[in-house]
Structure 1
Amino acid sequence: MQLQKLLSLIRQAVDRYNMIAEGDKIAVGVSGGKDSLTLLYALKKLSQFYPKHFTVCAICVDLGYDNTDFTGIDEFCRNLDVPLTLISTQIGKIVMEERKESNPCSLCAKLRKGALVDEAVRLGCTRIAYAHHKDDFVETMLMSMIFQGKFYAFPPVTLFEDKNLRVIRPLMLVEESQVKGFVKRQEFPVLKSPCPIDGTTKRAYAKELVAQLQREHPGTKERLFHAITEGKIEDWALPGV
């Protein structure tokens, strides 16, 4: 995928759900994976011509796993002229060793979000951008239906009233395959996930389920995404002002 196509899809999502306001300072949650690096790169490029002026910074939460090298991420941000804040934590040890959670993903996500939100507030940010793409939306919806018995997916915009902060998801119209192609073309310094259960989670199961449905019934993923965007899910009506 070319940069022009990526920016077009992101701008469609931003405009449709009013994700960016004049003067915003947007913190991109950077894990070092392909999705967050793509979002950071694209938002920086978008900031150079978008009608509403906004700035971008990067926040990376170090989970505390051994041998995680953020050198490539630091260089990537410097080349983009984007300030990077690296938060050192022991979240990995807490979740996997001390708590030994049966569902570690939920607690890990909660702790990471807390660290990210607190740092974004400290930096004076008005938005946090998460790199959830179209596939993530569909997989989350399936996981919610299968494991929780409800129809739910990430809202395009989430409001934290007590923090005066909004979470936005500008990659929501971009497919994972498009992200992979873009990252390969750009040769981004993708950081391999240090998580010891990566690839064996409920999300990995949902991803394979979507792939199977897509193989057997072409167009399934697009129809599921349409059901999400048109399904009148609670919280989706929130304006992104």
Structure 2
Amino acid sequence: MAKNTLQNLLSKSRKAIQDFNLIQDGDKIAIGLSGGKDSMALLHVLSTYRRFSPEKFELMAICLQMGGADNSSLHELCKELDVEFHEIPTDIKEVVFDVRQEKNPCSLCAKMRRGALNDYAVKFGCNKVALGHHKDDALETFLMSMFYEGRVSTFSPKSYLDRTGLTVIRPMVYVEEYLIKKTAEEMDFKIVKNPCPADGNTKRQYIKELIARLQDEMPDFKKNMFIAMNNPEQCFLWDKEKLKDVHFSR
């Protein structure tokens, strides 16, 4: 059963990889591995996809140590999957909570983690960074942008970063979170507890719970929101043809 569930994730991710031209021959891809269910699912998906992919590419995993987390299970998993692993100590948690004492820490923390991950990916010779964002993350970001920023926006399946020369890819943008949770349970992922003091008490968590309530009341809510996000006559934030032509340097 676990194998079938992972196969479902792999099938949806493969479609996204093909739709948005996410992986090419010769890529060296760094996976941002936090120890949560999403990044661990991405690690399994890409390490499996690598075995039969028509494109030949390299994989490595980078974990930013935020302090207080036991990442020994990640070392073991990467060894089992034959993926190079780097655990990088950081002072991000101290800067955000002790030095800056941020009341709304998520934005600064995310920015610092992205910056550190990208810098180390470049240091290790990677040309791409893969993140474990999924379909529900995209919908949550879509609503958060409208509610808190007054913008119609969400993250892209593929983005080129001029400053670093990296391309950021999100192969699981077609994967629903419940499938990841099911896979994590069936494959017995050794989840690393999030050491963040704000975990579970954020704007994103509020939006996640709001979407769940609206989905209960309107069974087509998430499906219709995803259709609206991809409507070619209105906004179509994920333009397949344009994203296929996003260029990057090696």
TM over 0.5: yes
User: Is the 8 Å Cα contact of residues 5 and 179 (structure 2) preserved in structure 1?
Assistant: no
Rounded to whole Å, the distance in 1 between the matches of 2:246 and 2:30 is 16
1:26-69 superposed Cα distances (whole Å, 9 cap, x missing partner): 100000000000001110000110111111110001112x3x10
Are 1:29 and 1:130, in contact at CA under 8 Å, matched by a contact in 2? yes
The whole-number CA distance in structure 1 between the counterparts of 2:70 and 2:26 is: 33
- Per the alignment, residue 233 of structure 1 pairs with 237
1:212-227 residue pairs with structure 2 within 5 A? Answer: 212-227=213-228
- Partner residue in 2 for 1:182: 183
What corresponds to 1:210 in structure 2?
211
CA RMSD of superposed structures (Å): 1.4
Deviations 1:122-166 (A, max 9, x none): 111111001000000000010000000011011110101232210
| Alpha-carbon separation, structure 1, partners of 2:94 and 2:163 | 29
- Structure 2 unaligned segments of length 5 or more: list them: none
* In 1, Cα distance between equivalents of 2:228 and 2:172: 18
Moved more, 226-235 or 5-14: 226-235
SS of 1:159 mapped into structure 2: strand
- Is 1:20 paired with 2:23? yes
Task: Quote how far apart the aligned CAs of 1:70 are.
Answer: 0.7
Deviation at residue 234 of structure 1 after TM alignment:
8.4
The aligned amino acid for 1:99 is: R
Please tell me whether residue 102 in structure 1 is matched to residue 106 in structure 2: no
Q: In 1, are the aligned partners of 2:230 and 2:238 still within 8 Å (CA)?
A: no
- Tell me by how many angstroms 1:229 deviates: 2.4
User: Structure 1 residue 34 and structure 2 residue 37: aligned?
Assistant: yes
Quote the Cα distance in structure 2 between the aligned partners of 1:15 and 1:221: 23
Does the CA-based 8 Å contact 1:10-1:170 persist in structure 2?
Answer: yes
Aligned partners of 1:41, 1:229: CA distance in 2, in Å?
A: 28
CA distance in 2, matches of 1:173, 1:235: 14
The structural deviation recorded for 1:21 is 1.0
What fraction of aligned residue pairs are identical, expressed as a percent? 45
Is residue 137 of structure 2 the alignment partner of residue 116 of structure 1? no
Partner Cα distance (1:184, 1:198) in 2: 21
Give the equivalent residue in structure 2 for 1:63: 66
Partner SS for 1:163:
coil
Letter paired with 2:236 = K
Q: Deviations over 1:60-90 (max 9, x none)?
A: 01112x3x10111111111111111111011
List gaps (5 residues or longer) in structure 1: none
Asked if structure 1 preserves the Cα contact closer than 8 Å seen for 2:142 and 2:153, the reply is: yes
Alignment TM-score, normalising by the size of structure 1:
0.95
More displaced, 105-114 or 156-165?
Answer: 156-165
